[in-house]
Amino acid sequence: MRSPYREKDINRHIRISHGVPLAPMTTLGLGGPASVLVELQDPADFLEFVELARTCPGSPVCLGSGSNVLVSDLGCDSPVLRLGNRGLRIGATDAEGRALVEVQAGHLLTDLVETVIAEGLSGMEMLAGIPGTVGATPMQNVGAYGQEVSDTLVEVRAWDWVLGRHVTLSARECGLGHRSSVFKRSRRWTLLSLVFALRRSELSAPVTYGAVAGVLDVPVGGRVPLADAAEAVLTVRRRKGMVMGCTETDCRSVGSVFLSPEVGPADARRLGARNAPINSFPDGSTRVSASWLIQQAGFGLNTPIVDSVRISSLHPTLVADEGASATTFREAIDIVRQQVLRRTGVGLTVEIDLLGTWHTAGRAGAPGQA
């Protein structure tokens, strides 16, 4: 639906476009157009977007860097918001002596990680190389190599579309779990800024992953300078093709397509007997590696799944090649899930968000800030 707003009615901080392809705004490069795309630079103008959204069908969708989203080939009828608000401020310390860092939702996570490391702040060094905006991080409690957003998040400031006002939610109210939160699959909130609490330290948190410890040549549990820890994480991620721009052949990816599924004691013993990687997580869950399950189901590296969609040549995840579509990518997801369940007895849950109108079986997940 075309917005009733004309270009001359909008201030210079808000840009409204119609029928804009969303594929170039995602790392997969797939999907159709947005009926209405709103690009907002100044958070002070957010209320103008609220007024606009009330004239459009469907709940608004916020799209960040598009690194965790699959856009339907049919596009998206709901208004799509892109927040360009960037910037961070290192403020006072809290009662525990941690530095409070306020960050705008449109700020890039990679830039935040680099900045806090340069400032001698520990708590995010293991998140080096993860693409996306900071506003997207609480959606699925982004984490890697022993650190999660839940470790440092204090609060978020958001617009609540149900209450129709700005709200501040504590980290507890965000309901952060393993790649989950109250924001996941919900369009109730649009996140505008976040506050993290980081500790001043020249050394990293203990290195808990063997692959990272191996690059650093330190024992698991050792601590190293912050920048060294981040560079080791980047090295491990590059080997898997999980750093943007690090590979020419497997670049159209959304990283991990599937969550590592939670397993009960019986399945943990059964799979452990097969040398499956079984890990305990901060939320109390016990999970088996999704990558291991995919390999056990018979999907080797570079295995074609459907036309122009295959397993990466570097890591057991799906990537798109020239000629792929959102529909074929979703078909590949279903094929992998079905075969993993048949071969291993464990069901995989899709981690990525599905945006837009889908005519295939199943209900599309509602993305937050992807």
Catalytic residues: 179, 256, 351
Sign of CA dihedral 211, 216, 220, 222: negative
CA 367 to chain centre: 10
Helices (H), the chain: 46-53, 109-118, 210-216, 226-239, 265-272, 290-296, 326-344
Q: Distance (Å, rounded) from C-alpha 3 to C-alpha 19?
A: 11
Q: Distance (Å, rounded) from C-alpha 108 to C-alpha 124?
A: 13
Q: Maximum Cα–Cα distance for the chain, whole Å?
A: 67
Q: What are phi and psi of 11, to 5 degrees?
A: -70, 170
Q: Which residue has the tokens 């609540």?
A: 160
Task: Output the CA torsion 79→327→25→365 (10° steps).
Answer: 50
Residues 6+ apart with CB under 8 A from 279: 260, 286, 287, 289
Q: Distance (Å, rounded) from C-alpha 151 to C-alpha 149?
A: 5
β-sheet bridge partners, residue 90: 101
Residues 6+ apart with CB under 8 A from 214: none
Q: Which structure tokens are listed for 343?
A: 């071969």
Between helix 109-118 and helix 226-239 the angle, nearest 10°, is: 150
Q: Distance (Å, rounded) from C-alpha 230 to C-alpha 212?
A: 9
Q: Distance (Å, rounded) from C-alpha 54 to C-alpha 99?
A: 38
The number of beta carbons lying within 10 Å of the beta carbon of residue 68 is 28
